[in-house]
Structure 1
Amino acid sequence: MADKLDKLREAQKQRIEKEARPGETYAQAAHRLQVAADKQPPTPKSNMRKAPSGDAQMDFFVPALYDVGTRDSRSIMDVAVFRLSKKERRAGDVIRYDLPDGYVEVKSGPDGMASIWDYDIVLMLVSHLTEAVNAYRAGKGEKPSRTFRPHVSDILRFCRKGHGGKQAVEIEHALDRLRGTTIKSVRERVNTNGQKLREVEAEGLIGGYRVVSYTDSGRIAELEIEAPKWLYREIIDGKRPDVLTVHPDYFLIEPGLGKFIYRLARRAAGKDSAKWSYQTIYERSGSTGTFKKFCFMLRKLIETNDLPEYILSEEKGLKGPQLVMIHRDSIEVIDSSGS
């Protein structure tokens, strides 16, 4: 330890001597450099956590459970059907989103509302179903059922989480919240005869689950997760499943708001760009905090600007600030064209 401190002191001394101005004493140079360092704004904290040890993200079209292309249901990508906070359980809570053709209600049960981190399990389910149905349509497999049987280690790898701590136990709690969080969708549409219809659907974020674990250790031996009917129908029965590929680094985004903004950008901007007002994003986020606090957090995301695929910025709008989301590849295309 003493040797390390001596080396650090020597390195600092050499740096000060190197940056000293003509006629400036060592003490004066050290003071000037310290004052300058104190004036530097602190480096924004990254929104991305480090990948766990042993994390090997291969080509994500390789048909291994944790390497398949992460996909998300576009039909609910621009509203939060989960809570963005880790602290607030929001048990028995209701969030309502008014949409142009109806509304969506998110209702939580006694175990609390599913979080955006719990929803990573749904992403894995969507990915598995999408890859399986693609193989089925290509004549390379059977039609997938609604029941998904992953191993706990597969979930942890897919979601890029470590195997330590109580990860396996937390998965069961996450499944409780996903099962108890109901999405009620009310939409109006016009049929072929020109008659207006009101269509109501309500299901959980998962249809159900089954866990078999060892009583002595609590380790999970078997796990089954049932896809909700609406999700299964959208992916299996649709000629062109309404899903989007999501960057694998999505799982490394730390803030719940950061994960939500990435999903919004993926849905709204795609490979190009999009603008959404802060007010609309706030309303679609289901946040329980004040709009002022929400804007502060959003600007912190913009300041750090390290979300996968997208560059974020703020600009003035007619009714307040707007978030500009631009896909990084679209900027590279513009730069390479010389325009």
Structure 2
Amino acid sequence: MGNEHKNPSSLPVATERPRLRRKITSIVRKSPPGSDQPDFFVPALYDVGTRDSRSIMDVAVFRLSKKDKRVGDAIRYDFPDGGYVEVTSGHYGMASVWDYDLVLMAISHLTEAMNRYRNGKGEIPSPVFRPHISEILKFCRRSIGGRQYKEIESALDRLADTKIKVVRKENGVGRREKRIAGTPQGLIASGRVVSYTDTGRIQSVEITIPDWLYQEIVESKTPNVLTVHPDYFLIEPGIGRFLYRLARRAAGRTEAKWSFQTIYDRSGSAGTFKKFSENLRKIIVADDLPEYTLLEEKGQNGPQLVMQHRCMQLEAPPGP
């Protein structure tokens, strides 16, 4: 996917912050009891480092709102080279950024399994992933409870019902440009939940990884994935989660600058730009996004966001 310019650490650090009179609250919830501690009675699936597909980290392939289900909706992201990504939803509504936690878990374990295979320590992994419900809740750092169990089935419905179509351009032999268009595929290919009828508790979960994602990780010489901080799952607002993924993709361990307008366009937000900018400024002031500090500065085409890895502040030379 496309991204805006990245700035080396030698550039001056932006210091302008928006002034808000209202009380600023954290966007990161407290970790559920025991979610960050090993559980020796549960297989260590959740101990695998979290990873995400780098190719879709700078666009929202899901909705950021918990309230708006966006049934039968579509979002399209056009890029300067003529390529685009289109996200469509069906009867069950568009998958949310919180539903996407299940995809992150599947990506993480598929990548780990391929690493073992390449090191001669296992078989080539299947696209079918069968985690225990307790492993899902532990990995995604969610509290164990009846409601959480019930939400898994609905999340799988939406993930399978949310389709992604990717069209990209690339140069072929003799510099003849080619247009490559894939057919729409779901965020997951399919899902299956087995539960007990008397209690409603889930016995098993089965997730089939879609071809586009399976090929990206298994058939590539080096999987196109990036690690994700475990505190990502504690970020409460959807826009906060999107900003972290964008910063992880665009800034890495340095910094990147994107205009508010571009971020709004890439977020797929159904709200107004004004409201989106207000929410963005709240997150800037809260300043507790994992790994990154966010700053606002003036740009040529309006306000822009500076996404800076916190290690840059630690490594910055002392002032005169």
Normalising by structure 2, we get a TM-score of 0.89
Q: CA deviation at 1:89?
A: 0.1
Q: Which residue of 2 aligns with 1:254?
A: 236
Q: Secondary structure at the match of 2:87?
A: strand
CA distance in 2, matches of 1:212, 1:306: 38
CA distance in 1, matches of 2:264, 2:209: 29
CA gap of 1:114–1:191, structure 2 versus 1, over 3 A, is same
Q: CA deviation at 1:269?
A: 0.4
Q: Which residue of 2 aligns with 1:132?
A: 113
CA distance in 1, matches of 2:110, 2:138: 18
Residue of 131, 136, 155 corresponding to 1:174: 155
Q: Secondary structure at the match of 2:44?
A: coil
Q: Secondary structure at the match of 1:65?
A: helix
CA distance in 2, matches of 1:150, 1:262: 26
CA gap of 1:324–1:57, structure 2 versus 1, over 3 A, is farther
Between the aligned residues of both structures, percent identity stands at: 64
Q: Which residue of 1 aligns with 2:56?
A: 76
CA distance in 1, matches of 2:305, 2:37: 30
1:306 maps onto 2:288 in alignment: yes
CA distance in 2, matches of 1:120, 1:338: 42
Q: CA deviation at 1:297?
A: 0.5
Residue of 64, 72, 80 corresponding to 1:100: 80
Q: Give, as a single letter, the amino acid of the residue that structure 2 aligns with 1:295.
A: S
C-alpha offsets along residues 194-251 of structure 1, whole Å, 9 cap, x if unaligned?
3332211121000111211111111111211000111111111111111101100000
Q: Secondary structure at the match of 1:222?
A: strand
Q: CA deviation at 1:99?
A: 1.2
Q: Which residue of 2 aligns with 1:234?
A: 216
Q: What RMSD over aligned residues (CA atoms) do the two structures have, in Å?
A: 1.6
Q: CA deviation at 1:53?
A: 1.3
Check whether the contact 1:113–1:177 (CA below 8 A) recurs between aligned residues.
yes
Check whether the contact 1:96–1:106 (CA below 8 A) recurs between aligned residues.
yes
Q: Secondary structure at the match of 1:136?
A: helix
Check whether the contact 2:146–2:201 (CA below 8 A) recurs between aligned residues.
no
Q: Which residue of 1 aligns with 2:170?
A: 189
CA distance in 1, matches of 2:97, 2:237: 10
* Length, aligned pairs only: 295
Q: CA deviation at 1:114?
A: 0.2
Q: Secondary structure at the match of 2:46?
A: coil
Q: Greater CA deviation, 195-204 or 295-304? A: 195-204
Q: Secondary structure at the match of 1:258?
A: helix
C-alpha offsets along residues 151-188 of structure 1, whole Å, 9 cap, x if unaligned?
01101000000011311110110000000000011112
CA distance in 2, matches of 1:103, 1:224: 31
Q: Secondary structure at the match of 1:85?
A: coil
CA distance in 2, matches of 1:304, 1:233: 39
CA distance in 2, matches of 1:43, 1:332: 28
Greater RCO structure (CA 8 Å; 6+ sep) = 2
Q: Which residue of 2 aligns with 1:200?
A: 181
Q: CA deviation at 1:41?
A: 5.3
Q: Greater CA deviation, 184-193 or 243-252? A: 184-193
Give unmatched runs, 5+ long, in structure 2. 1-19
Q: Give, as a single letter, the amino acid of the residue that structure 2 aligns with 1:100.
A: P
State how 1:56-67 maps to structure 2 within 5 Å: 56-57=36-37, 64-67=44-47
1:47 maps onto 2:27 in alignment: yes
CA distance in 2, matches of 1:57, 1:126: 22
Q: Which residue of 2 aligns with 1:35?
A: none
Q: Secondary structure at the match of 2:304?
A: strand
Give unmatched runs, 5+ long, in structure 1. 1-39
Larger relative helix fraction: 1
Check whether the contact 1:148–1:227 (CA below 8 A) recurs between aligned residues.
yes
CA distance in 2, matches of 1:218, 1:191: 54
1:282 maps onto 2:264 in alignment: yes
Normalising by structure 1, we get a TM-score of 0.84
Check whether the contact 1:57–1:67 (CA below 8 A) recurs between aligned residues.
no
Q: Secondary structure at the match of 1:113?
A: coil
